[in-house]
Structure 1
Amino acid sequence: MALVPGRKSAKTSARWAGIVCRTAPAFLLLFALFPAAFFPARAHAQEDSLDSVHVQPPPPKPDANAPPPPVEGDAAMSASRGERIRVDVNLVLVPLTVTDPMDRLVTGLEKSNFFLYENNRLQTIKTFSQEDAPVSIGIIFDMSGSMANKIIRARDSILQFMHTANPQDEFFVIGFNDRPELIEDFTSNPQDIEARLANVHAAHRTALLDAIYYGLNKMKQAKYERRALLIVSDGGDNRSRYTENEVRATVREANVQIYAIGIFDPYAATTEERLGPVLLNDICSETGGRLFRVDDVSEMGDIAEKISAELRNEYVLGYKPDDPRKDGKWRKLKVKLVPPPGLPQLTVHARTGYYAPLQ
């Protein structure tokens, strides 16, 4: 006779009742002796930040035919602490960040979530890591006349950015108006920069392109091979000797990630000022960085902290190109991401390409 799902015979119920009665004393004794086994401590639990989303990966499934796992942690970063994209003999490293539809940083993703293409050809990801490694950071600070009513907020956001960075990071500051000038050379002590910025004032015109070019060349003296620029400016260029095309070419070759805090005037009077946001957005996007527009200068400190968090939570993908030619040509990069189940569509911020080595 077939049993109806969800019902038990009287005989079966009696059998289970006997088991429960016989095992209950032993269960209570174990509970009294070892309560921690039933309620493990959560001494290190933390709530996720409102500005970040951490993805808890599922437990790995053993696969007898799977290749050895990628090198991670210190060993991986000893290889990947190269330039923002560094081409070794056989390995290309691609740093990137991921954000959700609310523009929150997404951490905790797995290698299997990423697909990497070079010149539209799918590549095999050989190494994968996410670690807060030291960065050499150049700050490009607009001190032109149009910044007069924003200069204090801009200075404070720079200091807040440094105080929330990795303690091992090093910084230099270039201020610019009619021309760029080195305000403070490389230092890991934010107090050094704070003292130099205490009496800054705004005046004259805006040589933004010259300042970016100067910063990229200064970065050649950096201690760390992970490198980034942070630009704080309110408008377009109207004074530089270097052209936009010259600076764009230098950006492509430099392998330095660029972020910008843009304090733009919605009623800009000149063509240069109206094109300023487009210029900064294009330069930042090409390097895997981002432009953050400021609508309220009181938000600048929060934006600076957000950029600091992104630099400290980058993924690094490593792969061996299937094109072995060393021809020095530009190779396009594209990273696609398939989110884990239950997550919305995510956005990847990565460099758009690199130059192949010549030898």
Structure 2
Amino acid sequence: MNPILKWLEVPDGQLRRQRMAAICMVALAVFGARTIKAQDNPLDKVHVPPPAAGAPATGAPAGVDAPAGTGAGKTRPGSLIKMNVDMVLVPITVTDPMNRLVTGLEREDFQVYENNGEQKIKSFASEDAPVSIGIVFDLSGSMTSKLVRARESIVQFIKTANPEDEFFVIGFNDRPELIEDFTSSVEDIQARLATVRSGHRTALLDAIYYGVAKMKEAKHERKALLVVSDGGDNRSRYTEGEVRSQVRESDVEIYSIGIFDPYAATPEERTGPILLNDLCEETGGRLFRVDDVSEMGDIAEKISTELRNQYVIGYTPKNISRDGKWRKVKVKLSPPSGLPPLTVHARTGYYAPLQ
């Protein structure tokens, strides 16, 4: 006989009812515990294997990079997910012998080469696309007599830009400091510039390094820095080599308004124009020298117009290896007959991705 039934087989009816109630309570407790366990872990019955190492999370297309600083598979609210497409975009400015901007050229007028191998142009644009622009403003002591004109030129630059452009402003003397974060408001920038004062030394390299790093927060695909300075570096922690490497690794064009003293007293002041010119040319930008501070507004407006009238060529490199090596880029021009010799300003190369 079942031991439980034997245990219930007693002559006293009340005792038998008490033992039956005890058995029911034990059964309910066991059944309830099993139910709670099943609800706590619904995968006990259906096993979902984890994705293989390196595979994208379920629902995410292959080639989606996790935003920096969030960990694999995580995204911050409102953050952008960038698709891993192997398209190289090259902004190009074309000028004539009088240093005037040349517009109206067609896709067929350009050829692009990577490491001396011609590449097939897959996209070509010449429309006024919005740009993320960082303004790097020299506030060292030598800028005191030029401060008002420099402020006015920056405001003029912003007013003639694309209304969809965004800007930030970095001021620097002994060290760089963010004066105004990304904004499209001319009034906000103008109000902040009215509060700055000049003094101390010149940490130009630190300011450019900071400006390029700040561009990682930009929302537009095209990015540019405008450096307004009157001299060479005499205070930075970053070296010229470190800044050159960072600039090469970025996709930021650098333009500069240089207010240089032809009778510069120090080696830093004498080499300042060379340094800025090299950085500008390497990124496809240009250095504009100021001989008369009253011309600064016109020069700023000229740079703004140039940014709004660039050609942008896109190509997929024939070399698909991800080796992290420097690849030299050369853009050549075969203009229609009848035009004078033209000059092409474009980035000189880029670092291939590592993965």
TM interval, shorter chain, is 0.7 to 0.9
Which amino acid counterpart does residue 310 of structure 1 have in structure 2? E
Write the deviation string for residues 270-302 of structure 1: whole angstroms up to 9, x where unpaired.
Answer: 000000000000000000000000001111001
SS at match of 2:307: helix
Quick one: which of 224, 249, 254 aligns to 2:250? 254
Quick one: which of 179, 185, 210 aligns to 1:183? 179
SS at match of 1:209: helix
Which amino acid counterpart does residue 132 of structure 1 have in structure 2? D
What is aligned with 1:276? Answer: 272
What is aligned with 2:332? Answer: 336
SS at match of 1:264: coil
How far does residue 222 in structure 1 lie from its aligned partner after superposition?
A: 1.2
- Distance 1:296-1:246 versus aligned 2 partners, 3 A rule: same
What is aligned with 2:304? Answer: 308
Tell me the number of residue pairs that the alignment of Structure 1 and Structure 2 aligns: 274
How far does residue 88 in structure 1 lie from its aligned partner after superposition?
A: 5.2
Within 5 Å, which residues of 2 pair with 1:222-261?
Answer: 222-261=218-257
SS at match of 1:112: helix
Q: Structure 2: 5+ residue runs without aligned partners? A: 1-81
What is aligned with 2:167? Answer: 171
How far does residue 178 in structure 1 lie from its aligned partner after superposition?
A: 0.6
Identity between Structure 1 and Structure 2 (%): 75
Within 5 Å, which residues of 2 pair with 1:147-162?
Answer: 147-162=143-158
What is aligned with 2:259? Answer: 263
What is aligned with 1:351? Answer: 347
1:144 has 2:150 as partner:
no
What is aligned with 2:103? Answer: 107
What is aligned with 1:215? Answer: 211
SS at match of 1:217: helix
Write the deviation string for residues 210-241 of structure 1: whole angstroms up to 9, x where unpaired.
Answer: 10111111111112121110000000000001
SS at match of 1:268: coil
* RMSD value, Cα: 1.3
Which amino acid counterpart does residue 92 of structure 2 have in structure 1? L
- Higher Cα Rg, which structure: 2
Q: Compute the TM-score of the two structures, normalised by the length of structure 1.
A: 0.75
Runs of 4+ in 1 over 3 A off after TM superposition: 86-90
What is aligned with 2:59? Answer: none
Write the deviation string for residues 237-278 of structure 1: whole angstroms up to 9, x where unpaired.
Answer: 000011100111010111101000000000000000000000
Quick one: which of 190, 197, 200 aligns to 2:193? 197
1:297 has 2:293 as partner:
yes
Give distance in 2, aligned partners of 1:90 and 1:196: 40
What is aligned with 2:322? Answer: 326
Give distance in 2, aligned partners of 1:222 and 1:258: 15
Quick one: which of 108, 120, 133 aligns to 2:129? 133
1:98 has 2:85 as partner:
no
Which amino acid counterpart does residue 116 of structure 2 have in structure 1? N
Give distance in 1, aligned partners of 2:122 and 2:193: 44
